[in-house]
Amino acid sequence: MMLTSRGTQRFYTIWFPLLHFVSQHTGLVPHFPPRYGMVDRVAPDDAIALRHALWADDALREAFIAQNPAGLSADDLFQVKNWGARVSGTFYVLRQLKKHAIFVPDRGEPRAYGVLGLSSSIEETLPLPLPCMVTTTLLPFEGKIIYDSLLHSYSLSFGAGIRSSLNETYKAAQERGMLLTSLNSSEGGVEGIRARNAKLLAGFIQHISRGSVSQKTLRTHREAIERFAEDELLQRDPPRGLIEANAEDLATYLGGRGDTVNLTSFKHFVRFLRDTRQASWQDTEAMLKELR
């Protein structure tokens, strides 16, 4: 449910020099300590200001990697490089399990993250009982998911309706293979994404085969969406799956393919996502608008 003491020490040994580097280049906090353990306590507002500046400008993180002012090892710099795959936002901390805490994003398609605490479990870190709403940034670290040491919690309590909805979202995420315990090019790497795509496409074909649709037409629809996944989404850095596709992805893909794309296949696929509630109404409407 938390990093090992060695892992936590390693994280802060990287994190403090990185925030110090940001302070030097932005002037936001003139005297932020360059190394972990130099002071007994860091003012939370100072760390938050530097963290906001860091995540708002990837050039700062890239410059830190290039210059390596703290003399970090190649492996430590690789961890910082992986933080390009971070996930920032508002989450519901649904429950604390033995291995990790379950974070459910407050919007978007059903997914959940298994997040480790640092020096204590997530549940012990929060001032309120679970479920609890927080804002933070999730980071890949040593093949697992942690948070960037800064959690802002909201003084809210949730009734039976919201709790039930969160549990349904968590269940849907598990069923779709979207309970993620790593952020490094998505869980399981490219092959993991392909496996989830295959599962989603099987559901798509089953969904549209309820009518009198020929096997040839079904193959055509599946192949059109598979090409989109392979040629567009898996070429991204980091690679992404079909469940993460959005209107911007469609616009880019359609713009580069001209009239060669079977729009009917895409319309069926987006409506499948909408009708099975695997994507939000707003997202699917935006995608359908691109397909008109």
Both 196 and 124 in a single domain?
no
**When comparing pLDDT for 65 and 260, which is higher?**
65
Both 219 and 279 in a single domain?
yes
CB atoms within 10 A of CB 186: 19
Both 92 and 174 in a single domain?
yes
Both 214 and 276 in a single domain?
yes
3-state SS class at 280: coil
Model confidence pLDDT, tens digit, residues 155-165: 988 999 999 99
Q: Domain end: 157, 180, 203, which one?
A: 180
Question: How deeply is 274 buried, as exposed, middle or buried, from its count of CB atoms within 10 A (0-12, 13-18, 19+)?
Answer: middle
Say if residue 226's pLDDT is above 90. yes
Task: Find the domain containing 99 and state its range.
Answer: 85-180
pTM across the whole model: 0.69
Q: Give how far Cα 154 sits from Cα of 127, 135, 136, 212, 234, Å.
A: 9, 9, 12, 51, 36
Q: Domain end: 163, 180, 197, which one?
A: 180
**When comparing pLDDT for 30 and 190, which is higher?**
30
Number of domains in the chain: 3
Both 195 and 269 in a single domain?
yes
Both 57 and 150 in a single domain?
no
Cβ(133)–Cβ(166) under 8 Å? no
Q: Domain end: 61, 81, 101, which one?
A: 81
The CATH number assigned to the domain holding 153 equals 2.40.50
3-state SS class at 100: coil
Model confidence pLDDT, tens digit, residues 171-202: 888 877 789 998 864 445 677 788 888 988 99
DSSP conformational letter for 129: P
What confidence score (pLDDT) does residue 185 get?
A: 47
Both 103 and 64 in a single domain?
no
